[in-house]
Amino acid sequence: MAIRQKTLMRLAPWAVTLFLVIMWEGICVSFAVPEFLMPAPSAVFKAGIATAGPIFEHATQTFFTTLVGFALAVAVGLVIGAVVGSSPLVYKALYPMLVGFNSIPKVAFVPVLVVWFGIGTVPAILTAFLISFFPVVVNVATGLATLEPELEDVLRSLGASRLDILRKVGLPRAMPYFFASLKVAITLAFVGSVISETVASNLGIGYLMMSASSSMNMPLVFAGLIVIGAMGVVMYELFAALERRLTGWAHRGAGAAL
């Protein structure tokens, strides 16, 4: 019984995906939806195969742009989060600023970046960075700020310095929050880089989709969307697995079920 439950869990996402694709195909075919409005999955697949080379090239560009932006976001987010989370004063001082900044739609920022850095990869990296560093900051700060004073006392009673406390309890305690934020941040980073590519680049999946849509090549647009989604899912799963491996202690109840 338990084993059947497990296989069911493993197969469920594939089954749902397959079901949706079949529904989509069925609707497109039975209502004869024109391809330039809504291409059927088969048409998208065909377009994907036919343009596999360019898609791969642009996807690679988007992938690495996203990763660089994401890596920057993690590094900067970790540092700002650590500072914000370990000092109530900095927390109070910076928080409104951060929240305000995060409320600005990043697409509105792209033109500014283009003026500063020109069209191309740099604005895409920076947009990915800008959109994805906030969740890292918030989560690391929350993890540190919600540290139980009792655990801190264990270290303090030994005469530990503030740095010791941060290293021995603060950061380990914040790790589950940090890894949870990575899953969110990586998907947001894709959003950021693709937005920027759509507006201001001649490389990347975003650009490919933009040029395809201007020539009414809807199947290719959809192929691009699916590639972005797939990259997002793969990266999300990667970080989810990393999270389970490294912070299993925080998920012991749920971890058993997964």
Partner 1 sequence: MSFVRFENVSLAYTEDGPRAIEDVSLDVREGEFVAVVGPSGCGKSTLMKLVSGLRLPNDGYVYVNGRQVGGPLNLVGMAFQAANLLPWRTTLQNVMLPMEIVEPYRSELRSKRAEFEQRARAQLAAVGLAGCEDKFPWELSGGMQQRASICRALIHKPRLLMLDEPFGALDAFTREELWCMLRDLWQAQPFTVILVTHDLREAVFLADTVYVMSARPGRILERREIDLPRPRDLDLTYTDQFARHVHALREHIGHVRKH
Q: Shortest Cβ distance from residue 156 to partner 1 (Å)?
A: 5
Contact status, residue 112 vs residue 168, Cβ threshold 8 Å:
no
Find the binder of partner 1 among 98, 117, 164, 211 (CB under 8 A).
Answer: 164
Q: Shortest Cβ distance from residue 217 to partner 1 (Å)?
A: 52
Q: How far, CA to CA in Å, does 132 sit from each of 3, 17, 26, 103, 162?
A: 38, 27, 37, 13, 29
Segment 103-162, which members bind partner 1 (CB under 8 A)?
Answer: 150-151, 153-160
In a 13 Å sphere around the CA of 77, the CA atoms on its Cβ side amount to 30
Q: How far, CA to CA in Å, does 4 sit from each of 7, 13, 41, 255?
A: 5, 15, 31, 18
Nearer to partner 1, 147 or 195 (CB): 147
Q: Shortest Cβ distance from residue 172 to partner 1 (Å)?
A: 5
**b/e code 44-63 from CB counts within 10 Å (16+ = b):** bbebbeebeeebeebbebbb
Q: Per rule CB under 8 A, is residue 175 in the interface with partner 1?
A: yes
Q: Per rule CB under 8 A, is residue 58 in the interface with partner 1?
A: no
Segment 226-255, which members bind partner 1 (CB under 8 A)?
Answer: 247, 249-250, 252
As a whole number of Å, the CA-based R_g of the chain is: 22
Q: Shortest Cβ distance from residue 250 to partner 1 (Å)?
A: 7
Q: Shortest Cβ distance from residue 159 to partner 1 (Å)?
A: 4
Q: Shortest Cβ distance from residue 87 to partner 1 (Å)?
A: 18
Q: Per rule CB under 8 A, is residue 173 in the interface with partner 1?
A: yes
Nearer to partner 1, 6 or 167 (CB): 167
Number of residues that bind partner 1 (CB under 8 A): 20
The span from the CA of 150 to the CA of 130, in Å, is 36
Contact status, residue 100 vs residue 165, Cβ threshold 8 Å:
no
Nearer to partner 1, 49 or 242 (CB): 242
Alpha-helical regions (H) of the chain: 2-30, 41-50, 52-86, 88-103, 110-117, 121-145, 149-156, 162-165, 171-200, 205-214, 218-246, 252-257
Nearer to partner 1, 120 or 172 (CB): 172
The span from the CA of 106 to the CA of 164, in Å, is 37
Stretch that binds partner 1, among 15-23, 115-123, 171-179, 232-240 (CB under 8 A): 171-179
Question: What would the two tokens of residue 201 be?
Answer: 């680049």
Nearer to partner 1, 148 or 237 (CB): 148
Residues forming contacts to partner 1 in the complex (CB under 8 A) are: 150-151, 153-160, 164, 168-169, 172-173, 175, 247, 249-250, 252
